[in-house]
Amino acid sequence: MAGKRLRIGLRGLVLSLLMGLPAFNQAGQAADQFPFDRELLLDVAPMRPVKRVPVLSVEANGNARIDLWCKTVRARVELSDAAISIEPAALPDGLPAMMSDGQCTPARISADLDLLAALTQVTAWREQGGALILAGAKALKFRAAAN
């Protein structure tokens, strides 16, 4: 009887340990969880005098919102393991309604176009040190908003 209890106890211990291990992908590396439904801020200094920095928010269904330096666009995000594809909608013609005078300078609008181009060239993602790294022609680093 004691031997049977010991086997059941060991089996439960082994199952508990296995349940606590992270999932592994085909390469044998721990599979990261994409940070869905979070505001991810581009890890850059703001373009003064405005404090706004680009923000990426991706829903689990693949719908996304990209708040650029000046404007905001919707996008479609496709994920599979470590691969990612981002297809943003066209940049709107008009300026955002809540912007103050001088907030959407030609430099900021140019930065919007550059960031959109970089996002369309993203092909892979990974989590690194608490940040989301999007790899493509240009690496983009995003951090979760603290609020």
Q: Is there a domain that residue 8 lies in?
A: no
Torsion angle of the four alpha carbons 95, 92, 134, 54, in this order, in degrees rounded to the nearest 10: 10
Query: Quick check: 123 pLDDT over 60?
Result: yes
- For residues 22 and 40, what is the distance between their CA atoms, to the nearest angstrom? 23
pTM comes to 0.75
Domain of residue 78, CATH code: 2.40.128.270
Residue 40's contacts (CB-CB under 8 Å, 6 or more residues apart) are 55, 56, 57, 58, 132, 142, 143, 144, 145
pLDDT for res 5: 47
SS3 state of residue 43: coil
pLDDT tens readout for residues 48-104: 888 889 999 999 999 999 999 999 999 999 999 899 999 999 988 877 776 666 678
pLDDT band for position 3 (cuts 50, 70, 90): low
- Judge whether 124 lies within some domain: yes
Q: Does residue 82 form part of some domain?
A: yes
Is 6 a domain residue? Answer: no
Query: What pLDDT is attached to residue 55?
Result: 97
Residue 99 lies in a domain: yes
- Residue 134: pLDDT band with limits 50, 70, 90: very high
Count Cβ atoms below 10 Å from residue 47 Cβ, excluding itself: 16
Give the residue among 65, 89, 63, 57 at the shortest CA–CA distance from 76.
63
For residue 140, the enclosing domain spans: 25-144
- The pLDDT score that the predictor gives to residue 2 is 55
Task: Let me know if residue 72 belongs to a domain.
Answer: yes
Dihedral Cα 11, 14, 15, 16, nearest 10 deg: 120
* Residue of 72, 66, 69, 74 lying closest to 105 (CA atoms): 69
Structural domain count, the chain = 1
pLDDT (tens digit, 9 = 90+) per residue, 6-54? 444 434 433 333 333 333 333 333 345 899 999 999 999 999 888 889 9
Q: What is the enclosing helix (H) or strand (E) of 136?
A: none
Q: Is residue 50 part of a domain?
A: yes
